[in-house]
Amino acid sequence: MSVVKTAERSDPANTRETAVAGGNGKVGVYLALLQLFFTLGWTVYVVYLPQLAAKVGLPPGAVVVILLVDQAVFTITDTLMGIAADRMTPIVGRLSRVVIWLTVVSCAAFLALPFVAELGPDAKIVLIALTMTWVVTSSALRAPPLALLGKFAAKPSIPILSCLTMLGYGIAGAISPYLGVVLRNHDPRIPFVISTVVLLLTALSMSWIERRLREGKLSAPERTPLAVPKSWGVLALVFIAAMLVLALGYQLHFSVNSAQLFLRFAKQPDLQWLMPVYWIGFNIAMFPASFITRRLGGLLVIGCAGLLGAGAVFGMENAAGLNTMIAMQFLAGAAWGCILMSAVAAAIAVSGGAEGKVLGLMFSALALATFARIAAVSGGLTKNAAYEALLQWTPILCWALAGAALLFIAVARLRKWRDGADPADAPV
């Protein structure tokens, strides 16, 4: 018996499997922290932007314009950064170096914002220029790190790594309401400095991530790329369009409708405790969904989650009490968590070797949906009674239609795969 145990302990395959699992955990935690600190930095920016704009003499309406421009810039730069990532990854160390330098510029611009605002109206142009610099360069922390996973991580590990990455985003979403309340009356320079230092220190480890991935710590040596037919290009475009529709549904439900729905049965101060329910569901559901994604593909999970989310939003709109509303909001958040986590894995799967490009397009779609939400709110759409039914039904329709479309595609591909079709038709 002891001989068998000794053999098991010394088995190279077991040793490698353990090393890969440990590497997955470390890289996943790193990506989660990167997304967490980046998203919290964005929260700090949004909380203090009205105050900073007022100090340099910008009117309140300018804040909305700046936020709209931010998202419009993201729709362009996210895709460009993704394309650049595809071109830089063949050269060892180049992508991480570029990401680090762009992050240094981004952090410097972000850090300078509250200090420049203290200079008054004479610093108006400088503040706007710094804001645009920060927005453009911060795109380096969205698609490029995930593009590295798509190119070098073992295919079976991608869903759990995507899950850990989105966990950072979900934790930031849960913390943001409290952060907004706590920071509102404090000197902006302190949170700006803390956010900058933490994010910069995290980003400086990007070279370690690239080196670890390239050394094969997370790669299976037998992994070879599939031959990708031309039809996958169409599939990628359908996937991006579906993500835009799903993201629009998320934006309208969570950022526009949720607070007003809760106020049917709760009071305004209760919102800081009720809104994070969405993100609790988001964070919990991703882990079991990652295992399903690994076996059956991301498109199937996104499709099912879209339909689940549509049902949850419908249930929340028609809830007869606060407890039912909380349960439906939890399910809606769980659905969005499954969608985002599986979307990263699906984007990598349908990319056909252009992981950065497809991931960049996905992030651009998310930014475009945010742009649409800000435009709708600033345009008074949410306060116009004539559009009440539109706002109520649009999130439901967005999630139901996009979910049904992706589910249909996923089931069709699964059937072909199980009937012995070309391996390129395997689940994605």
Closest residue by Cα to residue 398 from 244, 260, 285, 254: 244
First-to-final CA distance of the chain: 43
Q: What is the pLDDT of residue 111?
A: 94
Are 32 and 200 a contacting pair, CB within 8 Å? no
- Give residue-wise pLDDT tens across range 373-428: 999 888 888 777 777 888 889 999 999 999 999 999 988 888 877 776 554 555 66
Long-range pairs, 255-260, Cβ under 8 A, ≥24: 255/373, 255/377, 256/373, 256/376, 256/377, 256/382, 256/391, 257/317, 257/391, 257/392, 257/395, 258/316, 258/329
pLDDT bucket at 107, cuts 50 / 70 / 90 = very high
> Buried b vs exposed e over 209-246: b needs ≥16 C-beta within 10 Å?
bbebbbebbbbeeeeeebebeeebeebbebbbebbbbb
CA atoms within 13 A on the CB side of 232: 22
Q: What is the pLDDT of residue 23?
A: 53
Mean pLDDT of 152-160: 81
Closest residue by Cα to residue 108 from 178, 200, 225: 200
Residue 423 main-chain phi, psi, to 5 deg: -55, -25
Mean pLDDT of 207-221: 63
Are 251 and 191 a contacting pair, CB within 8 Å? no
Q: What is the pTM of this model?
A: 0.87
CA 362 to chain centre: 9
Amino acid found at 293: T
pLDDT bucket at 335, cuts 50 / 70 / 90 = very high
Q: How far is CA 84 from CA 52, 239, 358, 421, in A?
A: 33, 21, 12, 34
Assigned token pair, 102: 């762009």
Q: What is the pLDDT of residue 95?
A: 82
Residue 59 has pLDDT above 50, yes or no: yes
Could you give the angle at the alpha carbon of 397 between the alpha carbons of 163 and 407, nearest 5°? 50
Residue 13 has pLDDT above 60, yes or no: no
Q: What is the pLDDT of residue 406?
A: 94
- Give residue-wise pLDDT tens across range 72-89: 999 999 999 999 888 887
